[in-house]
Structure 1
Amino acid sequence: MAEHCKISVAMASEERSFVLKVSEYSRAKALLKNGEAVTSTPFSVGGHDWALRYYPNGNKGSADFISLFLVLLESADAKDVKAKFMLCVLNKNGQPLPSYSRTFPMGTFSGEGDSWGYHNFIKKADLEGSQLLKDDCLTITCDVTVIKEIHGEEETRVPPSDLHQHLGDLLNSKDAADLTFQVGGQTLSAHRCVLAARSSVFKAELLGAMKESSAVSPIEIHDMEADVFKSLLHFIYTDLVPSVLDVVIASHLLVAADRYNIVRLKLICEEKLCNHIDSKMVATSLALAEQHGFHRLKEACLQFLASPSNFKAMMASGGYEHLKSSCPSVLKELIARILPAEWDVAKDMVMEI
């Protein structure tokens, strides 16, 4: 989240040049009537977006001229914006022509859509009688200077923290890495102090009994895919999960987060699985929850399967056999839960089987 601070300066300004190229001068002149304009692509100066509005047959009342205006577009703070600008035609060699330039002194743009400029910027007959149209192309440069006067103290916004970006770059660059891991046939590098600061399990291992051995030989990680461990490291350094977090990835990351006691990642993954329960994945998620003690996920799965239609769909997908072989106790708990309340004796019998 961005923070606020107070600074004290007298004046700030920003200048930028923008080039307007009318590549088909004759066609634009033929298609657009007096008072009709084309607008350039936006460009940014002084924290505001601007554009040039070009009237090939002049604005109203200026049919013999080309009209040109600088327009203040949408902006977060587009009110009473002070700016000055200069418009100048370029010759065939791209050089400015003083005789075809106009300087607009300091003006105040009162809000979005406000514009300043010239109804009679260039007389069309003079332009077409010259040799400025190279391949029917008219080129005009606009130099805009935005002035911001600041009297005394003014509140400004401090950008959001980018610590996660710097730590992510540190992980990717491997600079000063003092650990290596062997995971799924891949060698991955990391920093002992970062892992120890983020995980109590890593802290105990890397700063305790494993400290000496981990300094000279790679640490082997078993029962985990390399991509899962990479995502785990990425979260440790950046506090961010993969941009695409499907239920399969979330399941593997949940186990990894539980293994290394990374609580926030565990909650994120468990939330993902709780919100994406369906008949095909519910048996796998329920078995995972039972085996690793994920109580919230287990309860969400049991509530889903309390519906007879969901239970039948789970059985049709093969989930029943999976639960029967991997977690018979949770299957008995499920059956006892969905039996009618008046069948208390039957529930007791199921639980004793």
Structure 2
Amino acid sequence: MRALASLCTPSVVQGTHTFKIAGYSLQRGLGVGRYLSSAAFDVGGYLWRIEYYPDGEMEMKIGDYASISLDFVSTNSEVRASFEVRLVDQANKLPPLVLLSQKMPIVFRSHPPPYVGKDFLQPSLYLQDDNLVIECSITVLAESKVAVTATSVDIQVPPSDLSNNLGELLKAGEETDVTFEVRGESFHAHKNVLAMRSPVFKAVLFGPMGDKTRWTMNIEGIQPAIFSALLHFIYTDSLPSMGHLYGDDGEEMVKHLVVAADRYAMERMKVICESILCKNLNVQNVTTTLALADRYHCNQLKNACLEFITSPNRVQDVVESEEYAKLKRSRPAIIVDIFERATKSRKI
């Protein structure tokens, strides 16, 4: 008798995506439930995305947690896949830390999309130069085939390096067309980049009242270090490292950046600065921070200051401080806000 046999083999496509988060410490304070998203990447003809929550996806009662999730972002699609998401030590001293792992394939659908996520303690050991690197490996199983007539090739798309390129462009000073004089220091920049990022610069450089042929501009009322940080944010969408600043110096730097962000209508930069100040509130600085938030329309920071001040275990210390007395003299209207917030808190 003749034995017959057939072989059914699954069509498997594997791919790995690297997601690098630069300036990690500055992303802290983004807020619970808010995330940083990788670029959508293709594995097996399907689109995926990593979402990283610096402050956690949900409020955690104990511990300092971050969260991560893997999202299936292809539309009108369904696929079986396994995956692993891990932290990578850039110095190669620590083994990869697996955050999410699914060895047996599960079904991913566009509607409703499956939730794949996890909370974990802040990854301080895996930070290098304030950068965090996440790798995601996905194995996609296509329909099983009796015969394989072609090999599927997955072309890996590198992560975006646009901000790095623009940062290098600013540093190199190539093809600049405007120079800013700030208290004796010169800063060279590109008009189109400035106009694209700041409506104030756009009006000054290209608006009806602007001088399109002007090459040099004097900037008053701002320190050179602050203007340098502003340009850095315009080109890279991130604040420069302030690791050399500590305590009051770092706090004052961030407050000056709030003023600069307001002056040039850089709303994202202002919110980032608000989040930094919010995480460092204390009895000594909360009233001055509140005055800053009120003056420059930082509503989220103002609410955080009011909540801090009216907390039952802090209100007495704040009211008795010298800074609170100065606040009453300089901005008496804020005292009304504090009183109203305290009244509402007692009713609750």
User: Normalising to structure 2: TM-score of the pair?
Assistant: 0.52
User: d(CA) in 2 for partners of 1:194 and 1:222?
Assistant: 21
Cα-to-partner distance string for 1:243-296 (whole Å, 9 max, x where unaligned): 237433222212211211112112211122222211111111100111122221
Q: Could you tell me how far 1:180 is from its partner in structure 2? A: 0.9
Per the alignment, residue 220 of structure 1 pairs with: 218
**Distance change (3 Å), C-alpha of 1:253 and 1:328:** same
Task: Provide, for residues 310-331 of structure 1, a one-character-per-residue CA deviation record: whole Å limited to 9, x for no partner.
Answer: 2333345421122123211102
SS of equivalent residue, structure 1 residue 155: coil
Once the two structures are superposed, residues 55-99 of structure 1 have per-residue CA deviations (whole angstroms, 9 ceiling, x without a partner) of: xxxxxxxxxxxxxxxxxx9899xxxxxxxxxxxxxxxxxxxxxxx
Amino acid at match of 2:207: G
Richer in strand (by share): 1
CA contact (8 A) 1:196 1:206 kept: yes
2:162 matched residue in structure 1:
163
Q: Is it true that 1:254 corresponds to 2:258 in the alignment? A: yes
Query: What's the offset of the Cα at 1:334?
Result: 1.6
SS of alignment partner, residue 156 of structure 2: strand
8 A Cα contact 1:184 1:226, kept in partner? yes
Distance in 2 separating the partners of 1:249 and 1:333:
27
The alignment status of 1:265 with 2:269, answered yes or no, reads: yes
Aligned partners of 2:206 and 2:212 also within 8 Å: no
The aligned counterpart of 2:235 is 237
Once residues 171 and 260 of structure 2 are traced to their aligned partners in structure 1, the CA distance between those partners, rounded to angstroms, is 20
Matched, 1:287 2:291: yes
Matched, 1:188 2:187: yes
RMSD over aligned Cα, in angstroms? 3.1
Amino acid at match of 2:258: L
Q: 2:315 aligns with which of 305, 311, 314?
A: 311
> 8 Å contact 1:5–1:158 — kept in the other structure?
no
Structure 2: how far apart are the matches of 1:192 and 1:341? 49
Count the aligned residue pairs: 203
Q: Deviations over 1:4-23 (max 9, x none)?
A: 3789xxxxxxxxxxxxxxxx
User: Structure 1 residues 214, 326: CA separation in 2 closer, same or farther (over 3 Å shift)?
Assistant: farther
| TM superposition shift of 1:213 | 6.8
Say if 1:254 and 1:266, in contact at 8 Å, map to a contact too.
Answer: yes
Q: Equivalents in 1 of 2:278, 2:253: separation in Å?
A: 14
TM-score, normalised via structure 1 length: 0.51
Provide the residue aligned with 1:4 in structure 2.
42
Change (3 A) 1:336 1:74: closer
Any runs of at least 4 consecutive aligned residues in structure 1 with deviations exceeding 4 A, and if so which? Answer: 73-76, 339-343
**Bigger radius of gyration:** 1
User: Within 2, Cα distance between the matches of 1:340 and 1:157?
Assistant: 55
> 1: distance between equivalents of 2:223 and 2:236?
20
1:110-159 deviation digits (Å, cap 9, x = unpaired): xxxxxxxxxxxxxxxxxxxxxxxxxxxxxxxxxxxxxxxxx723224222
Structure 2: distance between partners of 1:253 and 1:154: 48
Name the CA shift for 1:161/1:336 in 2 (closer, same or farther; >3 Å).
closer
Q: Contact between 1:181 and 1:219, CA under 8 Å: does it hold in 2?
A: yes
Corresponding residue of 1:338: 342
- Secondary structure of the 2:153 match is strand
Alignment correspondent of 1:327: 331
Contact in 2 for aligned 1:257/1:263 (Cα 8 Å) = yes
Contact 1:167/1:238 (<8 A) preserved: yes
Q: Encode CA deviations 1:208-245: one digit per residue, 9 max, x unaligned.
A: 245437624x2122221111111110010011112237
Please say if residues 310 and 341 of structure 2, whose CA atoms lie closer than 8 Å, have aligned partners that are also in contact. yes
Separation in structure 1 between the aligned mates of residue 204 and residue 255 of structure 2, nearest angstrom? 24
- Cα distance in 1, alignment partners of residues 322 and 256 from structure 2: 21
Name the CA distance, whole Å, in 2 between partners of 1:340 and 1:172. Answer: 51
> 2: distance between equivalents of 1:341 and 1:163?
46
User: Structure 2 regions of 5+ residues with no counterpart?
Assistant: 1-37, 46-94, 99-149, 244-249
Query: Which amino acid counterpart does residue 163 of structure 1 have in structure 2?
Result: L
